[in-house]
Amino acid sequence: MGRWDDSFRNIVQVSALDTLALCPYLAWVRFSPQGRVLSASAAAARLLGYTQPEQLVERSLFDPASWTRWNEAVRQSPGQAQELPLLTHNGGSIWVLMSGCEIGENITEGWLVDITRYKQQEATLARTLVSGREHEIAERRFRALLESAPDAILISAGSGRILMANQQSEKLFACPRAEILGRSIEDFMPERFREHHRRLRGEYNRQPRTRMMGAGLELYARRRDGVEIPVEISLSPIEIDGEWVVASAIRDVSERKRAEAALHRLHQLELAQTEHLASLGEIAAGLAHEIKNPLAGIAAVLEVLAGNFGNAPESRELMSEVQQQVVRIRSIVDELLNYARPRPLALVPGDLNEAVARAVQFALPRAQLRQLRLTFLPRSLPVLQHDPEQIQRMVLNLVMNAIEALPPGGQIEVLTQLDPSAQQVTISVRDDGPGIASAEQEKIFRPFYTTKGKHGTGLGLSLCRRIAELHGGTIRVESHLGEGSRFIVTLPLENAREAQP
């Protein structure tokens, strides 16, 4: 009975399919084991772009992978529909929903419905979803960038209404973000600027471009509590969702303004001090000139009187003291003249060590008298453009200062050396004396400042600095209390050349 039942079922199924084949609205196709068309309905032919069903015969509608997948599915699960692409007459393809079954030995029949439009809609929806995700990611990145900006940023519409604000805006305006959004950007300006800014905003909307706002002008923002703060503002037009908005980056420059004001006050103070010193220099030069001539006469008279003063020890001691004071006054007058009216440098190429050695030689008797050890350690130097007399004066001044600062048994070392990496020559004078307090180190190069009390004019180190600077160099001191001092003069190697043997 089972075999007869199967035969009867096949007869009925084939008869039913042949009847359906006559229906012009049903799309079906019968395939060979190789996937080629054996026959098809008129509806299937129209669906695939053919005018007659016979044109489909022996054609392959599948790519090899699709045929294999569909054929195996039909064998395993007859009647189960699958989405497949089928080749059309014009070389294109359409998407179909096709189910099928075996109707004979190795003959497969499929019923298909065109779902191309639905697949297109599905693809469009997928692209929309992807685009939406990309937009969401881009927006998150934009907001992260906005929040990480060091300046306050307000994004406003052309009407001036604030659309977005970052956390720095809350700090700048001392106002919660919720109270910033939706307000006019003019609300955060001093009232005296608002009307003018509305006109400028209209002009900017007509020709938007990235630029600084109010170049050359003093700009101010107004906090919620009414306090005005100086700011710098840069404007940038941005397109968001098809609309143009303006991003305003606002930087608080209060600290910079305070620093500039302090620097200006310092500059004015230094300028006034310079003018004051210049006036003092002129006065000192005038006084020195007026004193020098009578002083020469006094010295001559004293010399004559010394010969007729008698041989009493007390008398000679008194006369010697008077003559020493006259010499001291002459030295002070010379220092005043040298500082107030310095002569131009007389630069000549030569060995810097020679000028330094002469200064050390002049100071050596004084050092020996005070029981001090004075040494000079010269290094090989290139020929250098310098003023030998001024260099000698500078070094002698530094060495004499060290001699006066040291107790008996102290040591002074004068050293010259070349620093090729820094392209400079250094002259250093080091002693093992009491050192200089850090507070004093900032003042000792000022004119008329002295740590020697009544025995100093306060012009020696100022003159040293001037000589160093006239040579294009610098002078500085390194010192610690109880550890001695080291004065370092640096001179650039410009115009230097190798020394000749």
Q: Are 353 and 325 in contact (CB under 8 A)?
A: no
pLDDT tens, position by position, 428-487: 999 998 888 887 877 787 766 666 655 555 677 888 888 898 888 999 999 888 889 999
Whether the pLDDT of residue 364 is over 60: the answer is yes
Domains parsed from the chain with CATH numbers: 2-114 (3.30.450.20), 149-252 (3.30.450.20), 257-340 (1.10.287.130), 348-492 (3.30.565.10)
Instruction: Look at 190 and 454; give whichever has higher pLDDT.
Output: 190
Q: Are 452 and 423 in contact (CB under 8 A)?
A: no
Q: What are phi and psi of 342, to 5 degrees?
A: -70, 140
Q: What pLDDT is recorded for position 440?
A: 82
User: Helices (H) and strands (E) in the chain — how many of each?
Assistant: 13, 18
**Mean pLDDT score, 336-359:** 81
Which of left, alpha, beta for 347 (phi over 0: left; psi -120 to 50: alpha)? beta
Give the pair of three-digit tokens for residue 177: 């973000």
Q: What pLDDT is recorded for position 11?
A: 35
pLDDT tens, position by position, 61-78: 988 788 888 888 888 888
| pTM for the structure as a whole | 0.41
Q: What pLDDT is recorded for position 16?
A: 39
pLDDT > 70: percent of the chain: 74
Whether the pLDDT of residue 489 is over 90: the answer is yes
Amino acid at 20: L
What is the DSSP code string of 214-257?
TTTS-EEEE-TTS-EEEEEEEEEEEEETTEEEEEEEEEE-HHHH
